[in-house]
Structures are given as C-alpha cells and as structure tokens.
A and B are shown apart, each in its own frame.
Chain A
C-alpha cells in the first residue's frame, strides 16, 4: 500500500515561505511526477513527505496514518538522491545491505533481497566494487537498488537521472518505467525536465513558486492546461502566446481575433461580459501550418529556419513583432527575411484571460 495524502502543507525556512499550502492525493501504485522550474520547491515538498524535514503546517498521511511526527525511517519510504548518496567507502553489497542491517533483518533474507535487486537491475557483477569504481549509470542503478531492497511502500526519487548523459537518461527512463510496472509501487519522482515528466508519469503535478498549478495526466496537461504557466511549461517547444481579443460570444463558441488579423470561432464558452476583452491566444508550434494563398491567416516574417529533415522549425515574427515558433512537418524551402502567412485550426487554440487562466 502506498497512498499518500497532503493537506495544506506549508514550509517556511525562517521568514522565507517555500511551500504555500499543498493539497495532493497520491494514489497507491501511482507514478506521480513533480515538475516545475528550478527553485519552485519540488525537493522541499519531497523532503516533507520523506520525513527529512518537517512541514511548518499542514498534515501528511501515509495509508491513512498521520505521519508528521513519524521519523523518516519509520514511514516505509525509500529515497533515491540526485547525487546517489552511496556510501563511498562501502562495497555495492554493503551499500545495499546497510539499511536492512539497521532493521536487524536475518542475514539470509538480506542476501536474497540483494540477489533479487541485483538481478532486476543487472548489477550482480559489481556487487563487490565500490561506488567510486562504477560509471554514473551503474551508480544510479545501485542507488535504485538500495531503495528496492527495502521493499518500501513508496519510492521517492529526486532528479535521479539528472547527472546522466542524454542517451543514458533515455534508456534509464525506460527502465524506470518498466520497473514501476513490475513493482506496482507508488513512485514520486521529481524533475524539472517536462519530457521526463510526460513520458514517466501517470499524473503530473506542476509546481510553481511553492504552489500547485495543475495536477493531471500528461495528456490532460497537454490538451487542457489550466493556465498560461502550465501551457508554456508542458510541451516542447513551448506554446506560442499571441495577443488577441474576444470579438463575439455566440452559441457555437467564442469568436476571437488573433493579432487583429485572423478571426476564428473557438468552441468554448466565455462570460458574456468578456466581449472586447484582451486575451492571450495559445497555440502550440506543432499546430501551426503555412496558409494557402486564399486562406485566412496571419502574416509573419521569417527570422530563422532550422531544417531538421523530418520537420522544419521556423522562428518568425508576427506583424506586431511578437515572436512565433512553428514546427512544420516535412521540409520547406524558406529563407530568413521571407514573408509568410501562417494559420491554425480553431480547435487547437487555447484561450487565457488577463490573469492567465484558461477560458
């Protein structure tokens, strides 16, 4: 079992408030990812759950048990640190055994758990080496192994892959995903890499300045971001935000004017009072197309073209000077300085009011 609930959890360091009331219900067996820019409080939140730090206020429950005052070791959680935090003077085997010896587990049981973890993570060959004699990826596996042998109710992982090179990161990502399917244990994973979040998570928690911006499945966040911040944070490259205004609100939806040039009707309701109001119109770079000669669209000037073969990335500037990024499928013979016309479908537009909230 590994259900973890947070209620109004706050954390202050002296006068600095780092977490501003976090409410979250993490289901048993879920792979949940905390994502957000650097310094937003992801690690701090994880440490409150781990018991390495105590919340200033609020409650944490694990499987219904109030754990605010339960020491870290007794919460049944295991943590994987960004730096791995392997004991450098102990062999891999000793590293794995250390926590189990604390719990006075019988030797045979320890041995069998190590053997099982070693088999699962393919680290059997290195059991008698020291961490200093391992590569980054191998150390990472040992760090995960040290968590696995404890048979925890939930794993806490703080940017576990950030010290690995890009290629290794991708393969370890897949392995972690497989590991989660296999163990079916709750995993709480911290990262500031939104691709990691999208690929690994059952649900993503987007944090910003110590507050939860949105919680949802990767596709929920991608398709219906709750606000401009989430919209810009999830998805790569980032969503474009263009200035627009609401022209009319009708039965079939809201009619918006984008950059004063193109008018589209978005099938989404808005308050009647919002007519004529300025809004931000979000559109993902992948949803932008070149407009045909007679089609409506917005005009733009090409700044830079990056031909990647399978797709072409266009950095452009709208007539208002607002930057625009478009990712076009296939190859396009465009050059910088060229005037182009771009268009998009109404269904792909995201509308945000002046406060940045989704309409």
Chain B
C-alpha cells in the first residue's frame, strides 16, 4: 500500500517534471533565436525590459512631466493650455521678507508645512528609533509568547494608512475611546485631543510611530539576533555591567542596522501624509499640515489650485529625499563592507 502510493507519487512527480521540461523547451526556442540576434549582453537587456518599462512609465516620465509643470503657471490641468513661466514658481516659494518667519513669505503655506515637517521629522525619528530599539531589545529576550508579541508589533505595518488614521480618530475623537476611558477611570471631562495644537501634533507623531515601528523593530531585532550569544557570555565572564554591555557591545554591533533605520525613518518621516491626513486633516488650522499635504492641496484640492507651484514644491522636497537616499545607500554599503569581514 505504502509502496504503491510512493510509486504513484514518483510517477506523478516525473510527469510534472516532464511537462515542465517540455514547456521550458518550447519557451527556449524563441529565446535561443533572440540570443543569436541580440547576443549575450543583449539578452540581459531583454530581461530587464519589463522592469525598465514599468519604471519609465510610472517614475521617470512622471518625474519629467512634474519638472515641466513646475515651470508653468495657471490653474489648467493640460500642459498645452499652461503658460511657461520659467523659474517663477521656485522664485515665489523663496520670496520672503524675513527668512526666519514663514508668515513673511508669499507662499507662507509651503514654509509652514516645511517647518511642521521639520519638527515632525526630528521628534518622530528620534522617538521611532528609541521605541523600536527598546521594543526590539525586549522582543529579543526569552519572554513568554515571544512570537506572538513579534507579530503584534508588526501588525500595524500591514494596515492601510487610512485604516490607521480612522482607528486613531475613533480613539482620540471628543467622543472617542480615550475620553471614554478617562471618564470611566477618573471622571475627567472630555478633551478634544485632535483640535488642540499640541496634542494634535503629538497625536500625528504618536500614530505614525505606532503605525511604522514594527518595521524598524524588525530590522533592529534582526541585527540583535545576529550578535553571537557567546559575546554576551564572554562579557558575563568578564564581569561587565549591563549598561556597559549595552554601550560597548550591543550598540556598536547594532550600529549598521541603526544607521539604516535612521535613514529609512528620516525618508519616511519627510513623506508623512496619509494616516496623519486622515487623522487631523492638517488641523487645527495648519498646525499638523505637512509638506505632502501642502503639495496635494496646492495641486489638486484647493479652490485656487496651482499645479505648477505644487510641482515646484515637490521637486524641492524630492531634492531633500535624494540627499537622504544617498545617505541610506552609503550606510548600507558600509554595512555590506562590515559584513564581508
């Protein structure tokens, strides 16, 4: 019986194998012909073509179009109806009477958004690294239900940003969960978390940390697990205090991962938009309006829409991102080099 089944399985297996071989043989024919014409290096180009096409259509061409838009003016959408203004849009963005005061600029919205974003980036990234580092260290311990907790902390990463925004609105609304709990526990009056400048700003930071920390925790956890246990035992034999173990062993050996996390978090924080937009709509006032929201509203949503200005703003933001990306590439290259040794 068992033998029979095994026999059947291996026949089925060999049939599948034969079928695959046949199909591969058929695919081979045109590819062989192509290789004769294109040569070996030409084949590489051929295989890269689909990817290049997608990249060109969805990244390269839009980028060029965006650049062209940034040199045109007016509210019209179609390029042929727009007039060429050269660098006027950029000039507008940069025309301020006092460079330390966003309100003195013609495009005060851009500078307010930029200022908000800068604050957001600094605080959010610092908090993000701290929180994900602590979480990673705890999850690296032999705690009960370790895999469960790892899944829990990664879960928000899988949520759609809109869902994240909505969940937290339910929690932070005037009639939301948080006020309800506070009322039940302390009898405190409901507080409008999302319409107070400070708490709304803090909420955008907290929510975006909550939503993305799982990803960075994972990177740091991988780094922690790559540190050999022996090193800690050697340090234990050496009578090393816990804080010294952390400073002299964990931190330096985790540094490559920390740098990657830092730069990735920076890039993502500069691009903050969706979940925060759903949460606060940039309010109260403009206190949680970040750059992408400014670009989006300037280009599409406001009554006096100005696609050219939005395009120019996005190019400026793109420049910042390019710098950060170069930093990231340098960091990961350094990490690779370290790995080689």
List chain A positions with a Cβ less than 8 A from chain B: 50-52, 71-74, 77-79, 81, 83-90, 98-99, 102-103, 130, 132-133, 146, 150
When distances are taken between beta carbons in the complex, the residues of chain A under 8 Å from B248 are 87, 90, 98
When distances are taken between beta carbons in the complex, the residues of chain A under 8 Å from B252 are 89
Q: Are B230 and A73 in contact (CB under 8 A)?
A: no
Separation in Å of the B338 CB from the closest CB of chain A? 9
Q: Are A87 and B231 in contact (CB under 8 A)?
A: yes
Interchain CB contact (< 8 A) of B241 among A74, A81, A102:
A102
Q: Are A85 and B239 in contact (CB under 8 A)?
A: no
When distances are taken between beta carbons in the complex, the residues of chain B under 8 Å from A84 are 230
Q: Is B244 an interface residue (CB 8 A)?
A: yes
Q: Are A72 and B253 in contact (CB under 8 A)?
A: no
A-B CB contact pairs (8 Å), 17 listed: A50-B237, A73-B236, A73-B239, A79-B233, A81-B234, A83-B230, A85-B234, A87-B249, A88-B253, A89-B253, A90-B248, A98-B248, A99-B239, A102-B239, A102-B241, A102-B244, A150-B238
Q: Is B341 an interface residue (CB 8 A)?
A: yes
Which 9 residue pairs are nearest across A and B when measured between Cβ atoms? A73-B239, A99-B238, A85-B230, A132-B341, A85-B234, A89-B252, A102-B239, A79-B237, A81-B230
Interface size class of B (residues with CB under 8 A): 10 to 19
Separation in Å of the B231 CB from the closest CB of chain A? 5
Separation in Å of the B252 CB from the closest CB of chain A? 5
Q: Are B241 and A83 in contact (CB under 8 A)?
A: no
Q: Is B228 an interface residue (CB 8 A)?
A: yes
Q: Is B240 an interface residue (CB 8 A)?
A: yes
Complex CA distance for A52 and B235, rounded to whole angstroms: 11
Complex CA distance for A81 and B231, rounded to whole angstroms: 9
Q: Are B239 and A103 in contact (CB under 8 A)?
A: yes
Number of contacts between A and B (CB, 8 Å)? 61
Complex CA distance for A133 and B341, rounded to whole angstroms: 8
Separation in Å of the B315 CB from the closest CB of chain A? 41
Separation in Å of the B110 CB from the closest CB of chain A? 44
Complex CA distance for A81 and B252, rounded to whole angstroms: 21
Q: Are B236 and A72 in contact (CB under 8 A)?
A: yes
Complex CA distance for A130 and B236, rounded to whole angstroms: 21
Separation in Å of the B293 CB from the closest CB of chain A? 42
Q: Are A78 and B237 in contact (CB under 8 A)?
A: yes
Q: In this complex, what residue of B is CB-closest to A133? A: B341
Q: Are A73 and B238 in contact (CB under 8 A)?
A: yes
Complex CA distance for A187 and B234, rounded to whole angstroms: 17
When distances are taken between beta carbons in the complex, the residues of chain B under 8 Å from A132 are 341
Complex CA distance for A12 and B341, rounded to whole angstroms: 38
Q: In this complex, what residue of B is CB-closest to A53? A: B233
When distances are taken between beta carbons in the complex, the residues of chain A under 8 Å from B234 are 79, 81, 85-87, 146
Separation in Å of the B311 CB from the closest CB of chain A? 46
Separation in Å of the A62 CB from the closest CB of chain B? 14
Complex CA distance for A121 and B1, rounded to whole angstroms: 66
Q: In this complex, what residue of A is CB-closest to B240? A: A102
Q: Are B237 and A72 in contact (CB under 8 A)?
A: yes
Q: In this complex, what residue of A is CB-closest to B255? A: A89
Interchain CB contact (< 8 A) of A98 among B228, B240, B253:
B240
Q: Are B228 and A85 in contact (CB under 8 A)?
A: yes
Complex CA distance for A99 and B244, rounded to whole angstroms: 11
Separation in Å of the A318 CB from the closest CB of chain B? 37
Interchain CB contact (< 8 A) of A102 among B228, B230, B231, B238:
B238
